[in-house]
Amino acid sequence: MKLRLILGDQLSLSTSSLSDLSQDDLILMCEVRQEATYVKHHKKKIAFVFSAMRHFAEDLRRRGFNLRYVVYDDPENSGSLLGEVRAALDLHPCEEVVVTNPGEHRLLAEMQSWADELPVPVVLRDDDRFLCSTEDFAQWADGRKQLRMEYFYREMRRKYSVLMDAGGPIGGQWNYDAENRKPPAGGLDVPETYKSDPDAITQEVLALVEAHFPDHFGDLLPFHFAVTRDQALAALDEFIARRLRLFGDYQDAMIQGEPWMYHSHIALYMNCGLLHPLECIERAEAAYHRGDAPLNAVEGFIRQILGWREYVRGIYWLKMPDYKGANALNAERALPEFYWSGDTQMNCMRQCITETKQNAYAHHIQRLMVLGNFALLAGLHPDEVNEWYLLVYADAYEWVELPNVSGMILFADGGLLASKPYAASGSYINKMSDYCGSCRYKHTVKNGPTACPFNYLYWDFVARNDGKLRGNPRMGFMYKSLDRMSGEKRQAIRADSQRFFKAMQANEKV
């Protein structure tokens, strides 16, 4: 008899810890304080994970498996995974503990010490729900001077024969990103995201979260996430049928009052195990072959999963634990209060923070080019920015969050992941959104009290990181432009930036 521990992001019958499951084995699932509060996760995120766990447990029971499920408010709940494993072993004579490797380094390190804490062996198995093992990624990375996602993505396309034709990419190109940058157009009819009505199990969870996590970030209601595999498949099918066709064109666009746009909103389902990445890829590819979606949309969607998702996980496990402490640009400012409240005069920031608070979701350009861009330009400390991103989004686990934030957003890894910092001024936000028209600041004004802060903060970022970034080949044009500026112009940039930072640090409304 074996004790098989299932974590809240391993809600799949195909997870490796269940691969040789016997009817005599005991499956353990537990909602524990340790995992719910190591950061103060968004209320919707906790509700989603707990409800999905409870629904998965019900499915296991229906299948006749032996299950021990510990709810969060059980008076006997020890509050930790190790404590619950101990309690289960005290009650059941199991010969070993089997668990799939967790998705976060801190938890893996803890589990690797369990063998010294428990009376039976602990078997840690690879998480084979991903399409590239950590070993295969390390082999791909070995000896490469640059670990660029594009080359990894091409190898993954070949390996899984995705969008391939006679050994080459369908359409003659590997990447159609250049066709996926249309600004928002007037008259777009954006379909609603998938919504499910909370059943009795979810209602119980919502009440629990309201009672036990009242000071956590975010709005708990309305709650409409899928919480079962069938519902997650329905959400995937709805995306394929209603939004994939225009996903490519408008995947970078931002429209006030349209938080979901044409995105799939399925990352949280893949990351907790309700959906498998390959089935998502195959359904999108089938839509292309049926003529239901154009190549630029399908390739862009598949690249996010087969390329980017697998790549950032590979980077995470290749470079941890040192990666967590990376701060190549020596960013030191504290995260401003408005990241929690949304109380700022910058309309783009207000929109993205408010929608994050409401939905535990923002699409990738909101995360990268608004919220992340500001954090980069302002020199916010990577630890504080990482914690914020980890706790506010329902799809966030450290393996996916940390490389995206420290690598892609903050350039804190010094260019391991991204070839240049993704810094931009207000003109980019104006091009890709309708936010600027409702803003107190003017995106066309470069300096002074009415200027868009992104404008002068952009050049302040370039100037203060001269010693670290001037040698970057992709930053050459920016530094030539900086060098042509008059002393008066550069002084105005410094003065505006210092005034802004002083007000921000004093918690004034900026």
Question: Are residues 360 and 386 located together in one domain of the fold?
Answer: yes
Nearest to 296, CA basis, from 425, 167, 179:
179
User: Residue 72: which CATH number?
Assistant: 3.40.50.620
Is-contact 274 228, C-beta < 8 A?
yes
Coil, strand, or helix at residue 195? coil
**Which of 91, 125, 159 represents a domain boundary (last residue)?**
125
Question: Are residues 139 and 118 located together in one domain of the fold?
Answer: no
Question: Are residues 274 and 314 located together in one domain of the fold?
Answer: yes
pLDDT value at residue 179: 85
Q: Is the peptide bond before 93 cis (omega within 30 degrees of 0)?
A: no
Question: Are residues 386 and 469 located together in one domain of the fold?
Answer: yes
Coil, strand, or helix at residue 5? strand
Q: Does the pLDDT of residue 398 top 90, yes or no?
A: yes
Which residues are CB-contacts of 212 (< 8 A; sequence separation ≥ 6)? 72, 73
User: Residue 147: which CATH number?
Assistant: 1.25.40.80
Question: Are residues 21 and 167 located together in one domain of the fold?
Answer: no
Question: Are residues 436 and 394 located together in one domain of the fold?
Answer: yes
Domain assignment present for 439: yes
For range 437-463, the mean pLDDT:
97
For range 438-461, the mean pLDDT:
97
pLDDT value at residue 362: 98
CA dihedral 500, 503, 504, 510 (to 10 degrees): -70
Domain assignment present for 380: yes
User: Residue 474: which CATH number?
Assistant: 1.10.579.10
Which residues are CB-contacts of 256 (< 8 A; sequence separation ≥ 6)? 347, 351, 433, 434, 435, 438
**Which of 319, 351, 366 represents a domain boundary (last residue)?**
319
Question: Are residues 269 and 359 located together in one domain of the fold?
Answer: no
Q: For residue 163, is it left (φ>0), alpha (ψ between -120 and 50) or beta?
A: left
What whole-number percentage of the chain has pLDDT above 70? 100
Q: What is the pLDDT of residues 215-228, one digit of tens each?
A: 999 999 999 999 99
**Which of 125, 151, 182 represents a domain boundary (last residue)?**
125
Q: Does the pLDDT of residue 181 top 90, yes or no?
A: no
Q: What is the DSSP string of 266-302?
A: -HHHHHHTSS-HHHHHHHHHHHHHHTSS-HHHHHHHH
Q: What is the pLDDT of residues 221-262, one digit of tens each?
A: 999 999 999 999 999 999 999 999 999 999 999 999 999 999
Domain assignment present for 183: yes
Q: What is the pLDDT of residues 427-446, one digit of tens each?
A: 999 999 999 999 999 999 99
Domain assignment present for 228: no
Domain assignment present for 163: yes
Which residues are CB-contacts of 507 (< 8 A; sequence separation ≥ 6)? 336, 337
Is-contact 248 292, C-beta < 8 A?
no
Question: Are residues 255 and 388 located together in one domain of the fold?
Answer: no
Cα(120)–Cα(134) distance, rounded to whole angstroms?
27
Q: Does the pLDDT of residue 159 top 90, yes or no?
A: yes
Is-contact 283 240, C-beta < 8 A?
yes
Tokens of 128: 């084979």
Coil, strand, or helix at residue 383? helix
Tokens of 471: 């040698």
Q: CA 50, 217, 270, 101 torsion: positive or negative?
A: negative
Q: Does the pLDDT of residue 29 top 90, yes or no?
A: yes
Question: Are residues 344 and 405 located together in one domain of the fold?
Answer: yes
Q: What is the pLDDT of residues 309-341, one digit of tens each?
A: 999 999 999 999 999 999 999 999 999 999 999
Domain assignment present for 475: yes
Q: What is the pLDDT of residues 114-131, one digit of tens each?
A: 999 999 999 999 999 999
Q: What are the start-end ranges of the H helices in 291-337?
A: 295-302, 310-319
Nearest to 277, CA basis, from 253, 329, 312, 323:
312
pLDDT value at residue 178: 87
Domain extent, residue 292, equals 134-191+243-319
Farthest-apart Cα atoms in the chain, separation: 78
Q: Which pTM was predicted?
A: 0.96
pLDDT value at residue 488: 95
Cα(300)–Cα(303) distance, rounded to whole angstroms?
5
Average pLDDT over all residues of the chain = 96
Domain assignment present for 304: yes
Question: Are residues 153 and 74 located together in one domain of the fold?
Answer: no
Question: Are residues 54 and 178 located together in one domain of the fold?
Answer: no
Domain assignment present for 289: yes
Question: Are residues 63 and 138 located together in one domain of the fold?
Answer: no
Instruction: Judge residue 358's burial from the number of C-beta atoms within 10 Å of its C-beta, 0-12 exposed, 13-18 middle, 19 or more buried.
Output: middle
> How many domains would you assign to the chain?
3
